[in-house]
Structure 1
Amino acid sequence: MLNKKVTLVLIAFISLVWSCNTGENKSDKNETTDSTATRAIWSSEKANNWYSNQPWYVGANFLPSSAINQLEMWQAETFDTATIEKEFALAESLGMNIMRVYLHDLVWQNDEQGFYDRMNKVLEIADKHGIKILFTIFDSCWDPFPKAGKQREPQPFVHNSGWVQSPGQVVLKDSTQYPMMEKYVKAVVGKFANDDRIVLWDVWNEPDNMTGASYEKVETPDKVALVLPLLKKHLNGRDRQTQASH
Protein backbone atom coordinates (compact mmCIF):
# COMPACT_ATOMS: atom_id res chain seq x y z
CA MET A 1 0.00 0.00 0.00
CA LEU A 2 0.98 3.58 -0.55
CA ASN A 3 0.96 5.78 2.54
CA LYS A 4 2.18 9.22 3.55
CA LYS A 5 5.67 7.96 4.27
CA VAL A 6 5.94 6.77 0.68
CA THR A 7 4.65 10.05 -0.70
CA LEU A 8 7.24 11.96 1.27
CA VAL A 9 9.99 9.93 -0.37
CA LEU A 10 8.50 10.53 -3.80
CA ILE A 11 8.22 14.29 -3.36
CA ALA A 12 11.87 14.48 -4.36
CA PHE A 13 10.99 13.12 -7.79
CA ILE A 14 8.54 15.89 -8.59
CA SER A 15 11.22 18.48 -9.19
CA LEU A 16 13.14 16.18 -11.53
CA VAL A 17 10.61 16.49 -14.29
CA TRP A 18 8.38 19.52 -13.78
CA SER A 19 10.77 21.73 -15.73
CA CYS A 20 9.13 20.21 -18.81
CA ASN A 21 6.03 22.35 -18.77
CA THR A 22 6.10 25.76 -20.42
CA GLY A 23 2.90 26.95 -18.77
CA GLU A 24 2.65 28.94 -15.56
CA ASN A 25 0.86 27.84 -12.41
CA LYS A 26 -1.26 30.63 -10.97
CA SER A 27 -0.10 29.88 -7.43
CA ASP A 28 3.55 30.16 -8.39
CA LYS A 29 3.66 33.45 -10.29
CA ASN A 30 6.36 34.69 -7.96
CA GLU A 31 8.63 31.85 -9.03
CA THR A 32 8.52 32.17 -12.80
CA THR A 33 8.39 35.20 -15.05
CA ASP A 34 7.79 33.84 -18.54
CA SER A 35 7.10 30.65 -20.47
CA THR A 36 10.78 29.73 -20.71
CA ALA A 37 11.76 30.57 -17.14
CA THR A 38 12.58 27.87 -14.62
CA ARG A 39 12.84 27.69 -10.90
CA ALA A 40 15.02 25.84 -8.43
CA ILE A 41 14.29 22.44 -6.95
CA TRP A 42 11.70 22.66 -4.19
CA SER A 43 13.09 23.62 -0.82
CA SER A 44 12.47 21.35 2.17
CA GLU A 45 10.02 23.93 3.48
CA LYS A 46 8.01 23.96 0.27
CA ALA A 47 7.99 20.16 0.05
CA ASN A 48 6.87 19.87 3.66
CA ASN A 49 4.13 22.45 3.12
CA TRP A 50 2.90 20.49 0.13
CA TYR A 51 3.01 17.27 2.12
CA SER A 52 1.12 18.72 5.08
CA ASN A 53 -1.80 19.58 2.81
CA GLN A 54 -2.17 16.06 1.43
CA PRO A 55 -4.67 13.51 2.73
CA TRP A 56 -3.65 10.12 4.07
CA TYR A 57 -3.01 8.21 0.86
CA VAL A 58 -3.91 4.53 0.72
CA GLY A 59 -3.62 2.61 -2.52
CA ALA A 60 -1.67 0.11 -4.58
CA ASN A 61 0.20 -0.48 -7.79
CA PHE A 62 -2.47 -0.74 -10.47
CA LEU A 63 -2.66 -2.81 -13.64
CA PRO A 64 -6.05 -3.91 -14.95
CA SER A 65 -6.55 -7.63 -14.55
CA SER A 66 -7.02 -7.93 -18.32
CA ALA A 67 -3.47 -6.75 -19.06
CA ILE A 68 -0.21 -8.65 -18.58
CA ASN A 69 1.96 -5.51 -18.62
CA GLN A 70 2.11 -1.77 -19.29
CA LEU A 71 2.03 -2.25 -23.06
CA GLU A 72 -1.16 -4.28 -22.95
CA MET A 73 -2.70 -1.72 -20.63
CA TRP A 74 -1.93 1.32 -22.81
CA GLN A 75 -1.95 0.12 -26.43
CA ALA A 76 -5.13 1.05 -28.27
CA GLU A 77 -6.05 -2.51 -29.21
CA THR A 78 -6.10 -3.71 -25.61
CA PHE A 79 -6.99 -0.57 -23.66
CA ASP A 80 -9.78 -1.87 -21.43
CA THR A 81 -11.81 0.94 -19.87
CA ALA A 82 -14.51 -1.44 -18.65
CA THR A 83 -12.06 -3.34 -16.45
CA ILE A 84 -10.36 -0.15 -15.27
CA GLU A 85 -13.76 1.28 -14.33
CA LYS A 86 -14.75 -1.87 -12.46
CA GLU A 87 -11.48 -2.15 -10.56
CA PHE A 88 -11.26 1.53 -9.64
CA ALA A 89 -14.80 1.20 -8.27
CA LEU A 90 -13.66 -1.75 -6.17
CA ALA A 91 -10.67 0.26 -4.94
CA GLU A 92 -12.96 3.12 -3.98
CA SER A 93 -15.21 0.72 -2.07
CA LEU A 94 -12.18 -0.36 -0.03
CA GLY A 95 -11.33 3.23 0.86
CA MET A 96 -8.39 3.61 -1.53
CA ASN A 97 -7.70 7.11 -2.82
CA ILE A 98 -4.50 6.71 -4.89
CA MET A 99 -3.17 4.32 -7.52
CA ARG A 100 0.33 4.00 -8.89
CA VAL A 101 0.14 3.42 -12.64
CA TYR A 102 3.09 2.55 -14.86
CA LEU A 103 3.60 4.10 -18.30
CA HIS A 104 5.73 2.81 -21.19
CA ASP A 105 7.85 4.73 -23.66
CA LEU A 106 7.09 2.40 -26.58
CA VAL A 107 3.41 3.33 -26.52
CA TRP A 108 4.32 7.01 -26.61
CA GLN A 109 6.77 6.44 -29.49
CA ASN A 110 4.22 4.56 -31.58
CA ASP A 111 1.06 6.56 -30.81
CA GLU A 112 1.80 9.79 -28.97
CA GLN A 113 -1.61 11.45 -29.15
CA GLY A 114 -3.42 8.20 -28.52
CA PHE A 115 -1.25 7.66 -25.45
CA TYR A 116 -2.21 11.08 -24.09
CA ASP A 117 -5.89 10.40 -24.80
CA ARG A 118 -5.79 7.10 -22.94
CA MET A 119 -3.90 8.62 -20.02
CA ASN A 120 -6.60 11.26 -19.81
CA LYS A 121 -9.30 8.58 -19.88
CA VAL A 122 -7.67 6.76 -16.96
CA LEU A 123 -7.50 10.04 -15.09
CA GLU A 124 -11.19 10.66 -15.79
CA ILE A 125 -12.17 7.25 -14.43
CA ALA A 126 -9.92 7.64 -11.40
CA ASP A 127 -11.30 11.09 -10.61
CA LYS A 128 -14.84 9.75 -10.84
CA HIS A 129 -13.96 7.40 -7.99
CA GLY A 130 -12.05 9.92 -5.90
CA ILE A 131 -8.68 8.38 -6.75
CA LYS A 132 -5.49 10.33 -7.44
CA ILE A 133 -2.86 8.93 -9.79
CA LEU A 134 0.87 8.50 -9.31
CA PHE A 135 2.38 7.89 -12.74
CA THR A 136 5.66 5.97 -12.98
CA ILE A 137 7.64 6.86 -16.09
CA PHE A 138 10.52 4.37 -16.23
CA ASP A 139 10.91 0.93 -14.63
CA SER A 140 13.88 -1.43 -14.46
CA CYS A 141 11.99 -4.55 -13.38
CA TRP A 142 11.65 -7.87 -15.21
CA ASP A 143 11.84 -8.51 -18.96
CA PRO A 144 14.51 -6.22 -20.48
CA PHE A 145 13.28 -6.71 -24.04
CA PRO A 146 9.84 -5.09 -24.43
CA LYS A 147 8.15 -5.33 -27.81
CA ALA A 148 5.14 -3.37 -28.97
CA GLY A 149 2.13 -5.18 -30.36
CA LYS A 150 0.43 -8.32 -29.14
CA GLN A 151 1.85 -9.46 -25.82
CA ARG A 152 2.52 -13.05 -24.76
CA GLU A 153 0.04 -15.08 -22.76
CA PRO A 154 0.48 -15.21 -18.97
CA GLN A 155 2.39 -18.14 -17.49
CA PRO A 156 0.26 -19.68 -14.73
CA PHE A 157 1.73 -19.41 -11.23
CA VAL A 158 4.62 -17.21 -12.43
CA HIS A 159 4.88 -13.81 -10.74
CA ASN A 160 4.91 -10.93 -13.25
CA SER A 161 5.30 -13.36 -16.11
CA GLY A 162 4.88 -10.67 -18.74
CA TRP A 163 6.05 -7.43 -17.10
CA VAL A 164 8.56 -5.47 -19.18
CA GLN A 165 11.14 -2.80 -18.52
CA SER A 166 10.92 0.76 -19.79
CA PRO A 167 13.16 1.67 -21.42
CA GLY A 168 14.27 -1.71 -22.68
CA GLN A 169 17.87 -2.84 -22.57
CA VAL A 170 18.51 -1.96 -26.22
CA VAL A 171 17.57 1.68 -25.60
CA LEU A 172 19.35 1.86 -22.26
CA LYS A 173 22.62 0.72 -23.83
CA ASP A 174 22.35 3.13 -26.76
CA SER A 175 23.25 6.68 -25.73
CA THR A 176 22.04 8.00 -29.08
CA GLN A 177 18.50 7.25 -27.87
CA TYR A 178 18.83 9.28 -24.67
CA PRO A 179 17.49 12.45 -26.33
CA MET A 180 14.37 10.45 -27.20
CA MET A 181 14.01 9.44 -23.54
CA GLU A 182 14.39 13.06 -22.46
CA LYS A 183 11.82 14.17 -25.02
CA TYR A 184 9.43 11.48 -23.78
CA VAL A 185 9.67 12.63 -20.16
CA LYS A 186 9.30 16.29 -21.03
CA ALA A 187 6.41 15.67 -23.40
CA VAL A 188 4.38 13.48 -21.06
CA VAL A 189 4.94 15.49 -17.89
CA GLY A 190 4.56 18.75 -19.75
CA LYS A 191 1.24 17.58 -21.16
CA PHE A 192 -0.18 16.86 -17.70
CA ALA A 193 1.91 19.12 -15.47
CA ASN A 194 -1.06 21.23 -14.38
CA ASP A 195 -3.42 18.30 -13.91
CA ASP A 196 -4.46 18.07 -10.26
CA ARG A 197 -5.73 14.53 -10.79
CA ILE A 198 -2.05 13.51 -10.73
CA VAL A 199 -0.54 13.79 -7.26
CA LEU A 200 3.04 12.63 -7.97
CA TRP A 201 5.43 11.54 -10.70
CA ASP A 202 7.83 8.66 -10.04
CA VAL A 203 10.69 9.10 -12.50
CA TRP A 204 12.26 5.63 -12.31
CA ASN A 205 11.11 2.60 -10.37
CA GLU A 206 13.86 0.43 -8.87
CA PRO A 207 16.58 1.67 -11.23
CA ASP A 208 19.08 -0.80 -9.77
CA ASN A 209 16.84 -3.86 -10.05
CA MET A 210 18.83 -6.68 -11.65
CA THR A 211 15.73 -8.90 -12.03
CA GLY A 212 17.06 -11.76 -9.89
CA ALA A 213 16.86 -15.26 -11.30
CA SER A 214 14.08 -14.34 -13.73
CA TYR A 215 16.23 -12.55 -16.33
CA GLU A 216 19.73 -12.42 -14.86
CA LYS A 217 21.18 -14.41 -17.74
CA VAL A 218 20.19 -11.71 -20.24
CA GLU A 219 20.29 -8.65 -17.99
CA THR A 220 23.00 -6.09 -18.69
CA PRO A 221 25.52 -6.34 -15.83
CA ASP A 222 26.25 -2.60 -15.87
CA LYS A 223 22.63 -1.45 -15.59
CA VAL A 224 23.30 0.77 -12.57
CA ALA A 225 26.21 2.43 -14.35
CA LEU A 226 23.91 3.22 -17.27
CA VAL A 227 20.92 4.45 -15.28
CA LEU A 228 22.65 6.49 -12.58
CA PRO A 229 24.09 9.17 -14.90
CA LEU A 230 20.64 9.67 -16.41
CA LEU A 231 19.20 10.35 -12.96
CA LYS A 232 22.13 12.50 -11.85
CA LYS A 233 21.78 14.60 -14.96
CA HIS A 234 18.65 16.12 -13.45
CA LEU A 235 20.43 17.04 -10.23
CA ASN A 236 23.71 18.41 -11.48
CA GLY A 237 25.20 20.62 -14.17
CA ARG A 238 22.79 22.40 -16.45
CA ASP A 239 19.73 20.92 -14.74
CA ARG A 240 20.60 22.10 -11.23
CA GLN A 241 18.74 25.36 -11.78
CA THR A 242 16.04 24.11 -14.12
CA GLN A 243 13.73 21.95 -12.07
CA ALA A 244 9.99 22.35 -11.65
CA SER A 245 7.54 24.54 -13.42
CA HIS A 246 4.09 23.09 -12.91
Structure 2
Amino acid sequence: MLRGSCSSITFVRTSREPSADELARLQALLTYEETQGSHDFSGTLFLVTPRAGTISPWSSKASDIAHNCGLTMVERVERGVAYDVQTTASLTTAERGAIAVLLHDRMTEMVLADTQDAIVLFSEAEPAPLRYVDISDDASAALAKANTDWGLALSPDEIDYLAENYAELQRNPTDVELMMFAQANSEHCRHKIFNADWIIDGKEQPKSLFAMIRNTPQLVNNVNVLKI
Protein backbone atom coordinates (compact mmCIF):
# COMPACT_ATOMS: atom_id res chain seq x y z
CA MET A 1 0.00 0.00 0.00
CA LEU A 2 1.19 3.47 -0.87
CA ARG A 3 0.28 6.73 0.76
CA GLY A 4 1.83 10.16 0.80
CA SER A 5 1.50 13.85 0.13
CA CYS A 6 2.67 16.42 -2.36
CA SER A 7 3.72 20.04 -2.33
CA SER A 8 5.09 22.47 -4.86
CA ILE A 9 8.69 23.66 -4.65
CA THR A 10 9.98 26.78 -6.35
CA PHE A 11 13.59 27.09 -7.50
CA VAL A 12 15.13 30.49 -8.16
CA ARG A 13 18.40 31.37 -9.83
CA THR A 14 19.72 34.85 -9.03
CA SER A 15 22.66 36.85 -10.35
CA ARG A 16 23.60 37.87 -6.79
CA GLU A 17 22.58 37.33 -3.19
CA PRO A 18 19.21 39.09 -2.65
CA SER A 19 18.87 41.69 0.08
CA ALA A 20 16.56 41.06 3.04
CA ASP A 21 13.88 43.25 1.42
CA GLU A 22 14.22 41.53 -1.97
CA LEU A 23 14.06 38.11 -0.34
CA ALA A 24 10.89 39.08 1.56
CA ARG A 25 9.27 40.35 -1.66
CA LEU A 26 10.30 37.21 -3.51
CA GLN A 27 8.91 34.96 -0.80
CA ALA A 28 5.63 36.90 -0.77
CA LEU A 29 5.43 36.67 -4.56
CA LEU A 30 6.00 32.92 -4.55
CA THR A 31 3.54 32.14 -1.75
CA TYR A 32 0.57 31.57 -4.00
CA GLU A 33 -1.10 28.29 -3.03
CA GLU A 34 -1.79 26.24 0.04
CA THR A 35 0.39 23.33 -1.10
CA GLN A 36 3.44 25.52 -0.54
CA GLY A 37 4.47 24.35 2.92
CA SER A 38 7.02 22.29 4.76
CA HIS A 39 9.52 20.38 2.67
CA ASP A 40 10.47 17.86 5.34
CA PHE A 41 10.21 14.53 3.56
CA SER A 42 9.82 11.42 5.69
CA GLY A 43 9.21 8.95 2.87
CA THR A 44 10.64 8.48 -0.62
CA LEU A 45 10.90 11.71 -2.59
CA PHE A 46 9.76 11.91 -6.21
CA LEU A 47 10.49 15.45 -7.40
CA VAL A 48 8.72 16.11 -10.70
CA THR A 49 10.11 19.06 -12.66
CA PRO A 50 10.24 20.25 -16.27
CA ARG A 51 12.78 18.36 -18.33
CA ALA A 52 16.34 19.58 -18.15
CA GLY A 53 17.22 21.82 -21.06
CA THR A 54 13.69 23.24 -21.34
CA ILE A 55 12.00 26.33 -19.93
CA SER A 56 8.38 25.84 -18.95
CA PRO A 57 5.69 28.41 -19.85
CA TRP A 58 5.12 28.91 -16.12
CA SER A 59 8.80 29.75 -15.69
CA SER A 60 8.75 32.35 -18.45
CA LYS A 61 5.72 34.13 -16.99
CA ALA A 62 6.87 33.87 -13.36
CA SER A 63 10.31 35.26 -14.24
CA ASP A 64 8.69 38.19 -16.08
CA ILE A 65 6.48 38.93 -13.06
CA ALA A 66 9.50 38.91 -10.75
CA HIS A 67 11.28 41.41 -13.01
CA ASN A 68 8.20 43.63 -13.17
CA CYS A 69 8.18 43.62 -9.36
CA GLY A 70 11.67 45.08 -9.34
CA LEU A 71 13.48 41.81 -8.58
CA THR A 72 16.04 42.34 -11.29
CA MET A 73 18.55 39.95 -9.66
CA VAL A 74 16.21 37.04 -10.49
CA GLU A 75 17.49 35.30 -13.60
CA ARG A 76 14.90 32.55 -13.71
CA VAL A 77 12.17 30.96 -11.62
CA GLU A 78 11.11 27.33 -12.04
CA ARG A 79 8.91 25.01 -10.00
CA GLY A 80 8.36 21.34 -9.37
CA VAL A 81 6.00 19.08 -7.47
CA ALA A 82 7.45 17.01 -4.64
CA TYR A 83 5.68 13.74 -3.90
CA ASP A 84 6.50 12.28 -0.48
CA VAL A 85 5.59 8.62 -0.88
CA GLN A 86 5.22 6.51 2.26
CA THR A 87 5.79 2.76 1.96
CA THR A 88 6.00 -0.14 4.40
CA ALA A 89 9.33 -1.24 2.94
CA SER A 90 12.18 0.27 0.95
CA LEU A 91 11.45 0.61 -2.74
CA THR A 92 13.47 -1.29 -5.30
CA THR A 93 14.78 0.45 -8.39
CA ALA A 94 12.04 -1.20 -10.46
CA GLU A 95 9.36 -0.08 -8.01
CA ARG A 96 10.67 3.48 -8.02
CA GLY A 97 10.54 3.45 -11.81
CA ALA A 98 6.97 2.14 -11.84
CA ILE A 99 5.82 4.86 -9.45
CA ALA A 100 7.68 7.59 -11.36
CA VAL A 101 5.89 6.61 -14.56
CA LEU A 102 2.57 7.34 -12.86
CA LEU A 103 3.65 10.73 -11.53
CA HIS A 104 5.00 12.54 -14.56
CA ASP A 105 4.66 13.16 -18.26
CA ARG A 106 7.93 11.88 -19.71
CA MET A 107 7.56 14.09 -22.78
CA THR A 108 7.79 17.34 -20.80
CA GLU A 109 8.88 16.33 -17.29
CA MET A 110 11.51 14.37 -15.39
CA VAL A 111 11.70 12.85 -11.91
CA LEU A 112 14.52 13.64 -9.47
CA ALA A 113 15.38 11.86 -6.24
CA ASP A 114 16.75 14.87 -4.34
CA THR A 115 15.99 18.60 -4.28
CA GLN A 116 19.71 19.30 -4.78
CA ASP A 117 19.49 17.58 -8.15
CA ALA A 118 17.22 20.40 -9.36
CA ILE A 119 20.34 22.44 -10.12
CA VAL A 120 20.20 20.71 -13.50
CA LEU A 121 17.18 22.91 -14.34
CA PHE A 122 19.52 25.89 -14.67
CA SER A 123 22.37 24.20 -16.48
CA GLU A 124 23.36 25.82 -19.77
CA ALA A 125 25.43 24.23 -22.48
CA GLU A 126 27.94 26.22 -24.47
CA PRO A 127 26.85 26.77 -28.08
CA ALA A 128 28.45 24.16 -30.29
CA PRO A 129 30.39 25.21 -33.39
CA LEU A 130 28.83 24.77 -36.82
CA ARG A 131 29.28 21.38 -38.39
CA TYR A 132 29.67 21.02 -42.14
CA VAL A 133 28.82 18.08 -44.37
CA ASP A 134 31.56 17.51 -46.94
CA ILE A 135 29.75 16.87 -50.22
CA SER A 136 32.82 17.19 -52.45
CA ASP A 137 33.15 13.44 -53.00
CA ASP A 138 29.65 11.88 -52.90
CA ALA A 139 27.02 14.44 -51.92
CA SER A 140 24.11 12.01 -51.65
CA ALA A 141 26.05 9.55 -49.51
CA ALA A 142 27.36 12.29 -47.22
CA LEU A 143 23.90 13.77 -46.77
CA ALA A 144 22.38 10.35 -46.18
CA LYS A 145 24.92 9.73 -43.40
CA ALA A 146 24.16 13.13 -41.83
CA ASN A 147 20.47 12.33 -42.10
CA THR A 148 20.99 9.17 -40.04
CA ASP A 149 23.54 10.59 -37.58
CA TRP A 150 21.53 13.75 -36.81
CA GLY A 151 18.03 12.29 -36.98
CA LEU A 152 16.80 14.64 -39.70
CA ALA A 153 14.18 12.23 -41.10
CA LEU A 154 14.81 13.37 -44.67
CA SER A 155 13.31 11.33 -47.49
CA PRO A 156 15.49 10.07 -50.38
CA ASP A 157 14.09 12.66 -52.78
CA GLU A 158 14.84 15.45 -50.28
CA ILE A 159 18.41 14.21 -49.97
CA ASP A 160 18.75 14.27 -53.76
CA TYR A 161 17.28 17.78 -53.85
CA LEU A 162 19.79 19.03 -51.27
CA ALA A 163 22.70 17.31 -53.01
CA GLU A 164 21.79 18.91 -56.34
CA ASN A 165 21.25 22.42 -54.97
CA TYR A 166 24.33 22.56 -52.76
CA ALA A 167 26.35 21.31 -55.72
CA GLU A 168 25.06 24.30 -57.68
CA LEU A 169 25.94 26.60 -54.77
CA GLN A 170 29.41 25.03 -54.73
CA ARG A 171 29.63 24.86 -50.95
CA ASN A 172 29.03 22.46 -48.09
CA PRO A 173 25.79 22.65 -46.07
CA THR A 174 25.88 23.27 -42.32
CA ASP A 175 24.03 21.30 -39.65
CA VAL A 176 21.85 24.35 -38.92
CA GLU A 177 20.76 24.65 -42.55
CA LEU A 178 19.95 20.96 -42.79
CA MET A 179 17.99 20.97 -39.54
CA MET A 180 15.98 24.03 -40.61
CA PHE A 181 15.22 22.41 -43.97
CA ALA A 182 14.19 19.17 -42.26
CA GLN A 183 11.81 20.95 -39.90
CA ALA A 184 10.31 23.41 -42.40
CA ASN A 185 9.83 20.62 -44.93
CA SER A 186 8.49 18.09 -42.42
CA GLU A 187 5.05 16.52 -42.37
CA HIS A 188 4.25 18.57 -39.27
CA CYS A 189 4.78 21.84 -41.14
CA ARG A 190 3.90 21.05 -44.75
CA HIS A 191 1.53 18.09 -44.43
CA LYS A 192 3.05 16.50 -47.52
CA ILE A 193 1.11 13.29 -46.90
CA PHE A 194 -1.99 14.59 -45.14
CA ASN A 195 -2.69 17.17 -47.83
CA ALA A 196 -1.49 15.09 -50.78
CA ASP A 197 -3.46 13.66 -53.68
CA TRP A 198 -4.59 10.06 -53.22
CA ILE A 199 -4.65 7.38 -55.90
CA ILE A 200 -6.17 4.06 -54.82
CA ASP A 201 -6.24 1.11 -57.25
CA GLY A 202 -5.36 3.49 -60.05
CA LYS A 203 -8.27 5.83 -59.30
CA GLU A 204 -7.57 9.38 -58.13
CA GLN A 205 -9.56 10.19 -55.00
CA PRO A 206 -11.53 13.46 -54.81
CA LYS A 207 -10.40 14.42 -51.31
CA SER A 208 -7.13 14.48 -49.41
CA LEU A 209 -7.04 13.43 -45.75
CA PHE A 210 -7.35 17.08 -44.73
CA ALA A 211 -10.28 17.53 -47.11
CA MET A 212 -11.97 14.51 -45.52
CA ILE A 213 -11.70 16.16 -42.11
CA ARG A 214 -13.00 19.47 -43.43
CA ASN A 215 -15.85 17.64 -45.13
CA THR A 216 -17.72 17.02 -41.87
CA PRO A 217 -18.27 20.68 -40.85
CA GLN A 218 -19.01 21.55 -44.48
CA LEU A 219 -21.83 19.00 -44.55
CA VAL A 220 -23.37 19.71 -41.14
CA ASN A 221 -22.59 23.46 -41.04
CA ASN A 222 -22.28 23.13 -37.29
CA VAL A 223 -20.61 26.11 -35.62
CA ASN A 224 -19.58 23.88 -32.72
CA VAL A 225 -17.33 21.78 -34.98
CA LEU A 226 -13.71 22.86 -34.97
CA LYS A 227 -12.76 23.88 -38.51
CA ILE A 228 -9.16 23.24 -39.55
Q: Does the pair score TM above 0.5?
A: no
Greater radius of gyration (CA)? 2
Scaled by the length of structure 1, the TM-score of the pair is 0.22
* Structure richer in helix, relative to its length: 1
Scaled by the length of structure 2, the TM-score of the pair is 0.23
Structure number with higher relative contact order (C-alpha < 8 Å, ≥ 6 residues apart): 1
